[in-house]
Structure 1
Amino acid sequence: MRILTLDTVPAQTWPYLSAAPRGGAEIRHFPLLRGTVDALPEDLEALLVLSDLQGVATHALHDGAVALLGEVLADTFASLGELGELPLPAHTGVVLAGDLYSDASANVRGASGDVRSVWKAFAAHYRWVVGVAGNHDTFGSAREQERFKQQPGVYLLDGEAVDVDGLRVGGVGGIIGRPDKLGRREEEEHLGLMREVLRDEPEVLVLHAGPDVPGTDVRGSAVIREVLEQREGLLVVCGHAHWEEPLAVLHGGTQVLNVDSRAVLLQRGG
């Protein structure tokens, strides 16, 4: 799958509260970008790709109560689909690249917690939800996580690939780091999982942390890039570190779509 076009100006934005770098909360605006791809499975009209939804917003469908940003976006996007402003949720797959939690006040930068409610909110409306955990995401106890992964239409990946509607999607969650900290692995283990997934020849690879891009100032991992450059014609989705320009191309032709703090709607190109 190749991205053909990607808008630079958001189609729409929504206000939300997120932790400010110097403490407290600040108002930000979450953007939705539109793009096109060269091919999608016949039963899919679009992919909705997003990550790093670390904030809260008022939920118009619940009398203005505050909820996790991802829960609000799931219902908002689905409502726009039913109104005809976006593709129908029943014909849209969702890709989540991790870090979907915020504390209720949005005052704590890098807060960690249970994100099953966000996944369930998307799964309640959309054809399916596939993705990975970020380094701040939890899914309950080990037994609860296994039960969660068995739900229809939910594909939480970590070192494997699945076929959804004929689209082969692989995923590796977390980041490289000290394994005694949440959502981190030793470098060799993380890269080994990536290589294992790539042997299954996915069309789309979902990572939480992405590669660096030589010749630019974007933040990312050189060792992850070196693994990705061994594959051609791959679309990588990632988040974790924000890129001003969301799309990059690695040596060998692999495209990298960074959706940190943004959503991208990908539809079949004309």
Structure 2
Amino acid sequence: MADAGPTAHTPDVVCLHGFLGDPDEWRPVAEALAPGLRCRTPPLPGHDGAPPPGQTFDALADALWARLAPELPPRFALVGYSLGGRLALALADRHPQRISALILEGAHPGLQDASARAQRRRHDDAWARRLSTGSWLENLDAWYRQPVFADLSEPRRRALIQRRAGHDPQHLAATLRAASVAGQPDLRPALRRLAAPCAYIAGARDQKFSAIADDLATQTPGLTVVKIDGVGHNCHAEAPEAVAAVIQRICTGEHP
């Protein structure tokens, strides 16, 4: 587990990357945090050089917790982007006594009807088949041309493809099948149950997840919603200092 903190006795913040991501992408955020916050950045299952353990969302969450729990203090803050945010919310619901704060970035809380789940399952299965066959670089290029990444510039897209090229496509395809939103429970009630301070970050240019943020705000009393101007889906990569500022405020009780 990567560690960007100064001592072993400062508060812990665990940052979870998204699908296709890696722990080092959190380093600019970790460097922007105040010295009093110790930042840990573990790899997600399926992104650590090994195939994902199990074939369901719950299995991924169980495996991630089994790896995290022994290394962490009794209470810690949990931050997650996209898939990492979905797993963070699931872990916070299962182990609320361990969570001092929860910050989600561009994370889907879950689908609420059977037809949407079926449609998403078809979508993710098709992508999993595509990722596991043909040219890995061409498939990555196609992935980052989906509507949710429409704000990416060509240089930024090329940089992401180059960074993701080291992943094993078979592992990632299996992870996508297991981690599909189609198989994730609706975690909106989990967010409402959590007593710890919670925040949701979305890029102002990310229309889909900005709308999700607004919806969650109406349903979740006390949820802090922050929309970061000028960025799209991947806020911590595009605006690490702004994301670090949100983490800092929530973890220290200084809400915006």
Per the normalisation by structure 1, the TM-score is 0.37
Q: TM-score, normalised by structure 2?
A: 0.38
Greater share of residues in strand: 1
From the two aligned structures, give the one with the greater helix fraction: 2
